[in-house]
Amino acid sequence: MPVGLGQSRTVERLAGEPENSQKVRDRLKECRKMRAAFWRFAHSHYHAKPLSALTDAAALTWVVFFILVYVAALMAGWRPNGTEAIVGATLIGAPLTFGILHRRIRLEASIGSDALYRKRLETDQ
């Protein structure tokens, strides 16, 4: 069973074991539901808005800045405790996720005026 976008290696590993076929089907169903929910959100929030590449650039600039700050601090000998590590991961992970998802929506919307609607219908099936 080939692994496509949005599917993990766990699904591929489980696919070879017959007793896990129900687990594989459940995992694939969850992946499809999450993709459908993402494109429903994208269509409902961005179908009438012009999407700017500036938003992607701002989020990714934020990420690069904080990566540089944390790498410099680690190289200087700073060792974060648990709370500082969680805050650092959040300061990097949240904007990175937002930037990547926003870019994906923007690229899909650039295909045509009804591209988000078509993508929503395609994933809802």
Q: Which amino acid is at 49?
A: K
Give ∠ CA 83-84-90 in degrees, rounded to 5.
90
- Same domain, yes or no: 45 and 60: no
What's the predicted TM-score (pTM) here? Answer: 0.71
- Same domain, yes or no: 57 and 45: no
- Same domain, yes or no: 85 and 64: yes
Answer with the residue of higher pLDDT: 24 or 14.
24
pLDDT at 78: 92
pLDDT at 70: 94
> What's the structural domain count of the chain?
2
pLDDT at 3: 46
Answer with the residue of higher pLDDT: 21 or 100.
100
pLDDT at 89: 94
Q: What is the rounded distance in angstroms from the CA atom of residue 29 to the CA atom of residue 55?
A: 32
Mean pLDDT, rounded, for 72-83: 94
Q: What is the rounded distance in angstroms from the CA atom of residue 4 to the CA atom of residue 114?
A: 25
Mean pLDDT, rounded, for 11-28: 71
Q: Inform me whether the pLDDT recorded for 66 exceeds 90.
A: yes
pLDDT at 102: 92
Q: What is the rounded distance in angstroms from the CA atom of residue 123 to the CA atom of residue 37?
A: 9
Domain extent, residue 23, equals 9-50+114-125
DSSP E strand stretches across 13-99: none
> Residue 16's pLDDT band (boundaries 50, 70, 90)?
low
